[in-house]
Amino acid sequence: MITVKEVTTNKDLKKFVTFPFFLYKGSKFWVPPIIKDELASFDKNENPVFKDAEAWFFLAYDGDKIIGRIAAMINHLEVNQQNIKKMRFGWFDFIDDHNVSKLLLEKVAEIGARNNLEYMEGPVGFSNMDKVGVLVEGFDHIGTMVTWYNHPYYKNHYEEQGLVKEKEYMENKFPAGNADPALFTKLNDLVKRRYGLSEMNFSSTKEVMPYTDEMFDLFNETYSKLSSFVPITEIQKAYFKKKYISFINPEYIKFIKDKNKKLIAFAIVMPSYSEALQKAKGKLFPFGIFHLLSAKKNSKDVIFYLIGIHPEYQNKGVTAVIFNEYYKTFKEKGIQMCYRTPELEENIAIKQMWKHFDPVIYKRRRTYRKSL
């Protein structure tokens, strides 16, 4: 008999976090999280998102054996300030049994209905800085530290339970040397002269830190019109600095300033940690940290994590300045492949930005919704 229980203890929360380690045991493509970091992200005293959000965690059991999990979330900034009456759900994993996925989704629907919300959508996290989407194509490619991986049968479970596609995301890749540098080196000089722009490069994390708050402000401005956007709050900025900046090579962070020294564009690229995380097996110690440090220094694959351009400077060639800086850095580092994080299919501007690199779509993922 299948039973679903709410997680109420730290011991059960660890079971929630580690369930995928059993579900994907032996997978060549699943990338495990660091268990300690995942637990911290669900800790109300650690993650400031809980100042504006609530979460409920559930585990499905067959006797004493865990066979599924789901997180149900309400982001009150989204519900109350943006008037988007959405029940969020994520971290949704299950064996190939439709009764399991059905019972877990019913728990989310119950909470949504109890809070007078209009629909549920997932898989999503608390905000735009979290993972998003169930994989529907590209199962034979290794995952990344910033995306979920899942078995091919997941899609059928969503649709069998009456959920319909809400948003489609694409993931692209291209060789680092795909674009002719002449396409952006000449435009780089022209754009900088025309608008009085200057680039900022960094050699240490300490140099980056004074500018990160301004970067997150620009992130909010850049993405505010996207339908799924929830702004980053002041208190979350400090949390994201601690959580993400240390994973990023400072030379992979590029800032562009105007003539008044105001930040008008930024880009963040991360080395690929996929294989290092697989070797770490969810633990930093005793050896996981060395695998991660080695990847940070030596990985020849990179992930374009974020690009933000102030609305006033969009479609004015500023990306040429960014790409010119990365071309120089990637050539020096011997970078071979570039991967992009999930991007909304409807985002035409992002497609135009990358067209000269001849990107190949190698994964697709979706969120699904259901009325409550």
**Amino acid 241: pLDDT:** 81
Judged by DSSP in three states, 102 sits in: helix
One fold for both 2-170 and 174-361?
A: yes
Q: Residue 89 and residue 99: Cα distance in Å, rounded?
A: 18
Q: Residue 254 and residue 16: Cα distance in Å, rounded?
A: 37
* Token representation of residue 9: 């203890």
**Amino acid 87: pLDDT:** 98
Q: Please count the residues of the chain.
A: 372
Task: Evaluate whether 168 touches 333 at the Cβ level (below 8 Å).
Answer: no
**Amino acid 269: pLDDT:** 96
**Amino acid 350: pLDDT:** 81
Run means of pLDDT, 10 residues per run, the chain, 372 residues: 97 98 97 96 94 97 98 95 95 98 98 98 91 97 96 98 97 92 87 95 92 92 76 84 84 96 95 97 95 96 93 92 94 96 87 88 98 98
Enter the pTM of the model. Answer: 0.94
Task: For residue 228, count other CB atoms closer than 10 A to its CB.
Answer: 17
CATH class (in words) of the domain with range 2-170 = alpha beta
**Amino acid 227: pLDDT:** 63
* Token representation of residue 291: 């695998």
- In the chain, DSSP finds a helix count (H) and a strand count (E) of 13, 14
Task: For residue 130, count other CB atoms closer than 10 A to its CB.
Answer: 18
Q: Residue 50 and residue 126: Cα distance in Å, rounded?
A: 9
**Amino acid 268: pLDDT:** 94
Domains of the chain, residue spans: 2-170, 174-361
Sign of the alpha-carbon dihedral angle for 284, 290, 291, 293: positive
CATH class (in words) of the domain with range 174-361 = alpha beta
